[in-house]
Structure 1
Amino acid sequence: MAKNSIGLILNAHMPYIRHPEYPRFLEEDWLFEAISETYLPMLRMFKKLRSEGVPFKLTFSLSPTLCSMLTDPILQGRFTDYLRLHQELGEKEIARCGAEDTECKQLAQMYLENITKNLEEYFETYQCDILSGFRDLEESGHLELITTTATHAFLPLFSEYPSAVGAQVELAVQSHINYFKKRPKGFWLPECGYYPGVEEYLQREEIEFFQLSAQSLVLAEEPVERGNYAPVACPNGVFGFARDFHLTNLVWSNLEGYPTDPAYREFYRDIGYDLPMDYIRPYIHEPEVRVFTGFKYFAITGKGVHKNFYRPEEAKKRVSEHAANFLYTARKKGEDLDKILDRDPFFTLAFDAELFGHWWFEGVDWLEAVLRKAAKSDDITFETQLDYLKRYPESQVLQPSFSSWGEGGYSDVWTDGANVWIYRHLHKAIERMEELALRFPDQSSLKKRFLNQAAREVLLAMASDWPFIIHNGTSANYAEKRLRNHLGNFNVVYENMCKNAVNTEWLVKAEKKNIVFPDIDYNMFNLQSTRNRYNG
């Protein structure tokens, strides 16, 4: 067995965005970009390694909201339209570049080939259901699929609402079983958001491990014996794996991480913004809303306005160099740790999957290079958290500290001056949902559906995406509108149920719009039964 183990966890997540009431919707492009630039290329890369006999193992989290959208017939059809529209643009770009911009023609051809490949695989390999690709890789032992909270809620901000935390965890596990036909053994804590006690909800659902930020162990009351290089066991026996900040930063840092190399492709220079409106209008959103098209011809170059043309051959060299540097750094850390640890070190790395391919165009290629080089080494291996626990079943028992991977290490990102107003309304909605669950337990027929819709709206409002988007100032109006709509929808149910009535017309429309969590049970919010479950 190699001396140094790397446990890579990737979290694939998109907020639940589905607007069948419009023929085309701007924010749905977030999903389509992730599918075409991250999920399909990553599946392609994993299957290529498997077919060539390159050994690898990693942990992959797929959020319930993402799974719901990936299997939704309406969104599947719209993704197909998205690819075909971009295929048309690619053909148009090859002609334009051949006449006006010959240096970009090769890049346009590369993008068109990628789009065509995505179309073929989406239809022929996956029959529009790419979750089957992840299931296949889990069955072959290359991926360990895990889940995350139902709507990617940042749990520390709901620590005083056990019914809401319990619903987020229980529904997530239930959703995972529906999609993958097995109970997940791991759990991705959104934003590495941990607070003491959250492990009780995970244990209830037979979860064995979760990931933590580095400072969660550093700030624990009891000194940690093996640093971030081995898991700790919470007092209830659920294991926490703290990510390695140094190795993570080589990839994650927006100041000096690998993706900032000037040879790599610039994300923000896109023909959707660069080319004249008359030319690009058919491929953006009405009325003349410019968007990213994926056709990008410039390298990062530097911080100035001037950008060099992107050269894939130069980027390919950097990919190989950065992959070698990453493994060299891990190896050197392992040599130093060998002098002080009583076991082989385990380096936990946790990333958003969309970093690879979408934000960092060369990211999937870098990951492939790392896995290939690691497979040829005799001192570094990629293994899952469960594999490591089998080798070392005993761990230090320790209570981790409240933390996150957000700026400042706590909740600043989700509770700043721009978004903190959310929580007085959201907490009140949770309290009222608990009230409804207590007053109207175990309802049937229309009332059950009405109350289930109320629970669905509360959970969707709890998504960490909305305060994060507001914090960043990107699509803030949309995020605020979504929050207000979900809370307003909940209030429709609350006000009607206070009169012991059901608004049937409203209910039918709401159910058709948000079809996520078809098996939801509003009784999850029954505070009395929640206390019985988690305290007894």
Structure 2
Amino acid sequence: MFCLVLHSHLPWLPHHGRWPVGEEWLYQSWAASYLPVTEVLRRLADEGRSHLLTLGVTPVLAAQLDDPHSLAGMHHWLGNWQMRAHEAALGGKPDLGVREHRAAAHALDLFENRWRHGGSAVVRELVDADTVELLGGPLAHPFQPLLDARLRAFSLTEGLADARARWGHTPNGIWAPECGYTPGLERLYDRAGVRHFMVDGPSLHGDTALGRPVRESEVVAFGRDLPVSYRVWSPKSGYPGHAAYRDFHTYDHATGLKPSRVTGRTVGSEDKAPYDPALAEAALDKHVADFVDTVRARLRAESDRVGREALVVAAFDTELFGHWWYEGPQWLEKVLRALPEAGIRVGTLDDARRDGFVGDAVELDDSSWGSGKDWRVWAGDQVADIVQLNAEVVGTALDTVDKALDAAPHVRNHVADQILREALLTVSSDWAFMVSKDSAAGYARERAHKHAHATREICDALASGRTDRAHALASGWNQADSLFPGLDARRLPPAQTVNPEITP
């Protein structure tokens, strides 16, 4: 069996800057990836195709796709895209203008007819039709191995509850943020009803031909097959770097549109050749055939190696398809048609687990899918200050919330809710990742410290008895960070109920 897994995630961006890495990041990804990828899946579903892939949508992304501010901003952004296409056509670039105008008009039509009232209905339609298996995850995408055990348990169970509220479906599996793992997480997963989760291939020492129950649990870890996954997305040899595909980095500075093809890896932006859709289409067909051949050969080799039918799991960020790789959604549709035509069974991770593509238990160790496949991206020297910040903020938040709940344990406390909301946003794995990778590091540090400040400010007011001030602060911060309305601090596990073996 072949399983394709897509991980859809962005940090919380509404109300926290617009350009270049604030809301613009959300709208670009929405237009280039989420709109066309779900359109591909819906088109295949309309043909009666099911169990096509496993789709992870993190709670924090789901919140943005349902957020009224984001929906209004996205509608405005799509209209602006169409206007920029007009400017290109009038500014002496008719081919670029016509192509982009056509794409913007199609995106606007999709958005207004399918997405205008939120993304939940779009995702739920695919889940209800068995087009995809849905993977959930913990609230706000924390790097779980470094997170306080109580907040770790709370963020997971609340994340699964958030999925149920949005889509009427509680996921059987999760995409653990950054594929981060530490021994004991499998017990937390088991208690939460999670039956399987993703790890990177090296976590299983490259032996990804079968899912593996983790330690003494029945929770199955599925490993990303790197030889197959890297065939698509590799900095050195992946398909998106082909000369015929649209270049991500080269812009027409007058309109912000992308007029060029890759041309060559060492060719400067000013020397890039114009984008040619016909050349891109020919490259797509070649790469679809290559991928099918790669999967077939890998399945045969792995089946021979393990002496039984094997599994291949290829996993990618959803944003690769369209945002980073313009032709990615077209490639995805062609591959999902070509694999079954070549006699390759396609299924979901849930299918693989239920149909017995599971081997012997494994003693999984500390791991991630980051550099070095360890925790260095989120715990290395370059982010030591963020690790310390996270620990301090979480400690302050939990102490304050505990005291507030002790005073009135049965009453919904919106101040305590907002404290946990801001603490979870502080510990988002994205901030350390962006700093370690030097990708908008200034923005990432600013965001981590802003949410830390919000947490501390509310906690200080509450701890000093200024209850009215605490309520005013919580309400004010909630205007910017209003995600997860179902979050309820009363469900935070008491300290004595958390297994100390999984405390970091």
TM-score range, shorter chain: over 0.9
Gaps of 5+ in 2: none
Alignment partner, residue 366 of structure 2: 402
2:229–2:314 CA contact under 8 A, matched in 1: yes
For the residue of structure 1 that corresponds to 2:151, the secondary structure is helix
Alignment partner, residue 67 of structure 2: 72
Structure 2 CA distance, aligned partners of 1:420 and 1:532?
A: 26
What is the Cα deviation at residue 83 of structure 1? 0.7
Structure 2 CA distance, aligned partners of 1:171 and 1:327?
A: 39
- Deviation per CA, 1:73-94, whole angstroms, max 9, x where unpaired? 1111111111111111111212
Structure 1 CA distance, aligned partners of 2:382 and 2:361?
A: 39
1:433–1:525 CA contact under 8 A, matched in 2: no
What is the Cα deviation at residue 335 of structure 1? 2.2
Alignment partner, residue 146 of structure 1: 135
For the residue of structure 2 that corresponds to 1:7, the secondary structure is strand
User: Map of 1:122-521 to 2, 5 A cutoff?
Assistant: 122-158=111-147, 161-218=148-205, 227-234=207-214, 235-271=216-252, 274-275=253-254, 280=255, 293-305=256-268, 306-378=271-343, 380-392=344-356, 395-441=359-405, 443=408, 448-502=413-467, 503=469, 504-521=471-488
Q: Number of paired residues? A: 496
Matched, 1:19 2:15: yes
Structure 2 CA distance, aligned partners of 1:110 and 1:392?
A: 47
What's the TM-score, normalizing by structure 2? 0.93
Alignment partner, residue 83 of structure 1: 78
Alignment partner, residue 286 of structure 1: none
- Deviation per CA, 1:342-398, whole angstroms, max 9, x where unpaired? 3211111111100110001111111111111112122x1210111122221763122
Q: 1:46 to 1:294 in 2, by over 3 A?
A: farther
Q: 1:54 to 1:517 in 2, by over 3 A?
A: closer
Q: 1:526 to 1:433 in 2, by over 3 A?
A: farther
What is the Cα deviation at residue 16 of structure 1? 0.5
Structure 2 CA distance, aligned partners of 1:24 and 1:130?
A: 23
Q: 1:53 to 1:508 in 2, by over 3 A?
A: closer
RMSD after superposition? 2.3
Residue type at the aligned position of 2:79:
R
Q: 1:525 to 1:332 in 2, by over 3 A?
A: same
1:54–1:375 CA contact under 8 A, matched in 2: no
Alignment partner, residue 283 of structure 1: none
What fraction of aligned residue pairs are identical, expressed as a percent? 24
User: Map of 1:20-99 to 2, 5 A cutoff?
Assistant: 27-54=22-49, 57-97=52-92
For the residue of structure 2 that corresponds to 1:420, the secondary structure is helix
What is the Cα deviation at residue 527 of structure 1? 4.3
Q: 1:62 to 1:492 in 2, by over 3 A?
A: same
* 4+ residue runs over 6 A deviation: 22-25, 444-447, 532-535
2:292–2:342 CA contact under 8 A, matched in 1: no
Residue type at the aligned position of 2:364:
P
2:62–2:119 CA contact under 8 A, matched in 1: no
Gaps of 5+ in 1: 220-226, 281-292
Structure 1 CA distance, aligned partners of 2:176 and 2:329?
A: 23
What is the Cα deviation at residue 60 of structure 1? 0.4
For the residue of structure 1 that corresponds to 2:6, the secondary structure is strand
Residue type at the aligned position of 1:125:
R
What's the TM-score, normalizing by structure 1? 0.87
1:59–1:384 CA contact under 8 A, matched in 2: yes
Q: 1:388 to 1:519 in 2, by over 3 A?
A: same
Alignment partner, residue 107 of structure 1: 96
Q: 1:25 to 1:298 in 2, by over 3 A?
A: closer
Q: 1:169 to 1:23 in 2, by over 3 A?
A: closer
Q: 1:121 to 1:85 in 2, by over 3 A?
A: same
- Deviation per CA, 1:282-302, whole angstroms, max 9, x where unpaired? xxxxxxxxxxx3433333423
- Deviation per CA, 1:199-251, whole angstroms, max 9, x where unpaired? 122112111100111121229xxxxxxx2100011221101001101001111
Structure 2 CA distance, aligned partners of 1:139 and 1:370?
A: 23
2:393–2:452 CA contact under 8 A, matched in 1: yes
Structure 1 CA distance, aligned partners of 2:259 and 2:192?
A: 45
What is the Cα deviation at residue 471 of structure 1? 2.1
Residue type at the aligned position of 1:197:
G
Residue type at the aligned position of 1:487:
A
Structure 2 CA distance, aligned partners of 1:477 and 1:408?
A: 24
Q: 1:410 to 1:341 in 2, by over 3 A?
A: same
Q: Which moved more, 1:163-172 or 1:408-417?
A: 408-417
2:417–2:487 CA contact under 8 A, matched in 1: yes
Structure 2 CA distance, aligned partners of 1:479 and 1:55?
A: 39
